[in-house]
Structure 1
Amino acid sequence: MRAPTPALPDAPLARHLLLAAVGLVAVVLVLQGVSEFRRFQLAEMAYLGIAAGGLTVLTGLNGQVSLGHGALMAIGAYTAALLLPDRDASVPLPLVLLAATVVALAVGAVVGVAAARLHGPYLAGATLALAVAVPGIALYFKDTLGGEQGLPVVLPEPPAWALDTAYFLTGQELTTSGYVALIGWLVLTVTYVLLANLSRSRVGRRWRAVRDDEVAAQLAGIDLGRARVSAFVVSAAAAGAAGAVLALSVRLAAPSSFTLTLSLTLLAAVVLGGLGSLTGALLGAALLTFLPQVATGLGTDAGLSDIQAAELAPLVYGLVMVAVVLLAPAGLAGSLRLLAVRRRTRGALSTTSKGTAR
């Protein structure tokens, strides 16, 4: 009897590309059916998801804790702002995104080499210093980087093929906010495909080996420093791309957008979603994007003032974080995966017991 054809290809790259294509079509359809505010939120979810995906590779797969990814996002955002000062800028948008990624990658390589011998809280402290110092650079070089006011970012006009594709799929014109969100999700899709394949490659197996047991990894011939630096570089590149998308979304690159709070938000997204899982990183980004509005709406419905309802969001953040740590220590994605495994195991055991009884 011929075995049934699997629903998805066996090759990881083909499977990831198929899922990416389906996801992009779904995103285009969703963007055309929601309000302008929702499109802005989806763009926010996209750049948080990109940065959280890179951070989950660093923390979840390689075991390094970084509190400075907000600073790496700032580097990507300012790179985009310097290349897009006005509508007459001749730099194409794909090159702007690539430049932001490469510059953040270079900075990540320098920081990664310097921090390769640090572990645990020492690495977290070093990256914390980076998160505090980088926004101050914009204040010191205010003539070039705009100081407290920041640098405006001018979004180029959408290309004709993007307008035609969106109209073909949805029958509606592509708005500016929809275009920004589409850029963000396109960058997120490309980033996740690359990270997913990289994590399943030999490089990804080295990262896991270093995370699980450094002594055993060293005895197996793995260069610990090189593995740590490569993971930090990949994570920094993702943060740079996320920073560029953030700058395009808010049309500004300013120090106030890249405080320590942003770095902690990214770490919270990774923890909530589940360490080492790109799906978990995206779930965490979605939760941190939409949770504040839900909390504010609940507070307003309960009779609180607008200010009091807005101040309710940090409390809800904390309660959700505590609940996930206590009830789902593997994160949202990890807990769902464990639940599915348990159900399959129980099903297999029940089938085996019935067969034995017969």
Structure 2
Amino acid sequence: MTDVRTAKTTTVTGLGLLAPKRRRPHPVLVVAGAAVLVIVLTYLLPPFRNYQLATVGAYLCVTAGLTVLTGLNGQLSLGHGALMATGAYTLALTQNRFLNLPLSFVVAVLATTAAGAVIGLAAARLRGPYLAGLTLAVATVVPSVTSTFDETFNSDQGLSVALDPPPETVPMEQWQAWLCWGAALIVVLLLALLVRGRFGRDLRAVRDDETAARLAGVDVARTQVLAFVVSAACAGVAGSLFAVLAQSVSPGAFPLTLSLFLLMAIVIGGLGSLFGALWGAVLLVALPALSQSVGESTGSQRLEGNLALVVFGVVLVVVMLAAPGGLASIRITNRLFGRNR
């Protein structure tokens, strides 16, 4: 009798009916803690490390949006580098015209969102490799556009970005870190709140089974388009931040390999997890820096140019073998932050 009762309890617990539900920290508390940590770090780190910290924040915007699109909605995009370029060029053109950084940010995000809506409308009709092919075509079109409209985009030379200097008491790198992480934390907070509600449930339902989602009353096409629009807006924020970081924009800053790196980064970090997007952003800064150091030590320029992709590939294989769910699926990070699946 005891064995039967134990078996029943085990079965019910396995179904999650008696198991205690882990309470995750509210996104507002996590973002507030991250903001305090970033501010403290900017006072402790040297200028170059602050610049790297700012770059991580800029990458976090696009990896967070891409993990929502690919991880939660199941749409594969190989064109987010082009969306970042759209935001960067729009900010440069607007900033050089009006010298108003907040206005330039808004215009850049709106322009990228509009581009994402157009791509999303087409993407909603495509699946699998056809969708990947469409976004890949977008990634290859952007450089040709800058060459075609040479007078506007200055071709391969790119555009400089006119910026007012920060207050004299604040170093440039520290100001850049505050700006990038302020934007990144706002993006992450909005996404976290968004995927916790009905929109997040619709995203997962469409990803898991479109037919079942449609029968449950979910508008599949609208959900997919909205997912692409949200992700494109995040890419626009990231591109705008990169324009501010480099104070210039050129086609070489947004190559096709950038879109591949972004996709590999969210897979390594953990698809469907915003904390995994943070891991991916860190890797996007750390691994190329490591590859550059190795390339410089060997004295081979050819090795230095291709080593980053090799390192990403090796890390991807190792992580998928050790933790198929990505770095965010490791027990410690999973307990602290949970997964958004």
**TM-score, normalised to structure 1's length?**
0.82
Aligned runs of 1:2-17 on 2, under 5 Å?
A: 15-17=26-28
Query: In structure 1, what residue type is equivalent to 2:237?
Result: A
1:25-66 deviation line (CA, Å, top 9, x unaligned)? 211221122222212211221121110100000001100000
- CA shift in 2, pair 1:338/1:21, >3 Å: closer
CA distance in 1, matches of 2:332, 2:121: 35
Q: Name the CA distance, whole Å, in 1 between partners of 2:143 and 2:204.
A: 32
Q: Which amino acid aligns with 2:78?
A: L
Find 1:195's aligned residue among 191, 198, 201. Answer: 191
Between the aligned partners of 2:74 and 2:56, the Cα distance in structure 1 is 24
Partner of 1:271: 267
Sequence identity (%): 47
**In 1: Cα distance, 2:92 partner to 2:333 partner:** 43
Once residues 290 and 336 of structure 1 are traced to their aligned partners in structure 2, the CA distance between those partners, rounded to angstroms, is 23
2-structure distance, mates of 1:156, 1:334: 42
Is 1:57 aligned to residue 65 of structure 2? no
The structure 1 residue matched to 2:118, chosen from 110, 114, 128, is 110
Shift of 1:156: 2.3
Cα deviation for residue 95 of structure 1 reads 2.2
Whole-angstrom distance in 2 between the partners of 1:152 and 1:293: 24
Matched, 1:180 2:176: yes
Q: Quote the Cα distance in structure 2 between the aligned partners of 1:319 and 1:288.
A: 14
SS of the residue corresponding to residue 330 of structure 2 reads helix
Alpha carbons 2:261, 2:312 under 8 Å: kept: no
1:314 — aligned with what? 309
Which structure 2 residues correspond to residues 1-358 of structure 1 after superposition, within 5 A? 15-85=26-96, 89-91=98-100, 93-158=101-166, 173-297=169-293, 304-305=298-299, 307=301, 310=304, 312-336=307-331, 340=335
Amino acid in structure 2 at the alignment position of 1:208 = R
RMSD, aligned CA: 2.2
* SS at structure 1 position matched to 2:96: coil
* Counterpart AA for 1:104: T
Gaps in structure 1 of 5+ consecutive residues: 1-9, 164-172, 342-358
Q: Please, which runs of 5 or more residues in structure 2 have no aligned partner?
A: 1-22, 337-341
Equivalenced residue count is 313
Residue 223 of structure 1: how far off its partner (Å): 1.0
TM-superposed CA distance for 1:21, in Å, is 2.2
Q: Which amino acid aligns with 1:83?
A: T
Secondary structure in structure 1 of the residue aligned to 2:44: coil
Rounded Cα–Cα distance in structure 2 between residues aligned with 1:340 and 1:248: 36
Equivalence for 1:355:
none
**CA 1:194 to 1:305, structure 2 compared with 1: closer, same or farther past 3 Å?**
same
Q: Deviations over 1:286-345 (max 9, x none)?
A: 012112333444676xx633647735443322211110122211000023369759xxxx
Measured against aligned partners, the alpha-carbon deviations of 1:177-199 in whole angstroms (never above 9, x if no partner) come to 21112111111000000000001
Deviations 1:140-196 (A, max 9, x none): 1110111111110122233x6xx8xxxxxxxxx321121112111111000000000
